[in-house]
Amino acid sequence: MKRIVLLLIALLAVGCSKSEESPNYSEISGAYSKDFGTGNGNIWLWIQSSGNFELKSTYASGKESVFKGRIIKKDGDSYSFEIESGRRVNSDLPAKGDVFECLYWETNKEMSITYDGANIRYERLTLQTKYK
């Protein structure tokens, strides 16, 4: 009888345990970029299927800004990105906690982005490499 009760408790514990599914962003995972021409800078956005990202912006002056973080929300084709490390361009204040939005264009594999902390004003980045 004792074994049956212990077995039932074990089965109940296994059945009630919640398995947290990590979000999968494989539909947009990859390397996106926009080049403004020789000496005028570029923007790169790397997105992993886990939702981690890195945004790198190089300016005509040669200054470079790098931001790292994760995707926090998906709403249709719109994604919200939260920065966990990096510094804003003009003010040099920490960018931690900043949120920016991106819109994914499935048809032409582009990601539109606007983020004031990196002086990015509505740019469309083109998919260069698709990650699995």
Per-residue model confidence (pLDDT) at position 80:
96
Torsion, Cα 91 95 99 100, to 10 degrees, reads: 60
20-130 has which CATH code?
2.40.128.500
Per-residue model confidence (pLDDT) at position 91:
78
pTM of the model: 0.79
| pLDDT per residue of the chain (132 residues) written in tens, 0 to 9 | 666 655 666 656 655 545 556 788 999 999 999 998 877 889 999 999 999 999 999 887 778 899 999 999 999 999 999 999 998 887 778 999 999 999 999 999 999 999 988 888 889 999 999 987
Extended beta strands in the chain, E state: 30-35, 41-47, 52-59, 64-75, 78-85, 99-105, 110-115, 120-130
